Amino acid sequence: MSSSIDSLPPNLAKIVQRFQRASDQKRRYEQLIWYGTKLKAFPESDKTPENKVPGCVSQVYVTASLEDGKVAYQGDSDSQLTKGLVGLLVEGLNGLAPNEIVQLAPDFIQETGLNVSLTPSRANGFYNIFKTMQKKALECEK
């Protein structure tokens, strides 16, 4: 089942619409890299095996904490484009309740048009980052 923009959380819907307005792949890549630059500095002390996203070619780290019942993510990667994917997801998922995050399907990436320009390993990386963020949201609830 594919997600329509209307069924996405507001922040994620905004991101999808921004990418849909990008006229070509180059603009989408620039936008993706911009999301990476928006990430807060990731503490070196959090670059631990528990926070490392499995199955990514790049080094990717994600942490999650619960603040007033809402998930707050932080993330980082050593690759600019992957860092952009992390930034996009952090921006899109921050402030949601864990159950909202767990119920999301990753197919909204197709709505952005990015899936056609991502290499198979990056597309797989996106999926692994997304799944890790869902797992961390669940762990926050415990």
**pLDDT per residue as tens digits for the range 25-72:** 899 999 999 999 999 999 999 999 999 999 888 999 999 999 999 999
Residue 12 corresponds to which tokens in the numbers above?
């994620």
pLDDT bracket for residue 2 (50, 70, 90):
very low
Q: Is residue 48 part of a domain?
A: no
Q: Is residue 50 part of a domain?
A: no
For CA atoms 66, 139, 92, 24, the dihedral sign is positive
Contact in structure between 113 and 19 (CB atoms under 8 Å): yes
Q: Is residue 53 part of a domain?
A: no
Q: Is residue 47 part of a domain?
A: no
Q: Is residue 51 part of a domain?
A: no
pLDDT digits (tens, 9 = 90+) for 93-110: 999 999 999 999 999 999
Contact in structure between 122 and 29 (CB atoms under 8 Å): no
| CATH number for position 34 | 3.90.1010.10
Q: Is residue 115 part of a domain?
A: yes
Range of the domain at 84: 5-41+59-141
Q: Based on the structure, what is the number of domains in the chain?
A: 1
Q: Which of 15, 53, 56, 60 is catalytic?
A: 56
In whole angstroms, give the CA distance from residue 114 to residue 112: 5
pLDDT surpasses 50 at 142? yes
The answer to whether residue 140 is catalytic is no
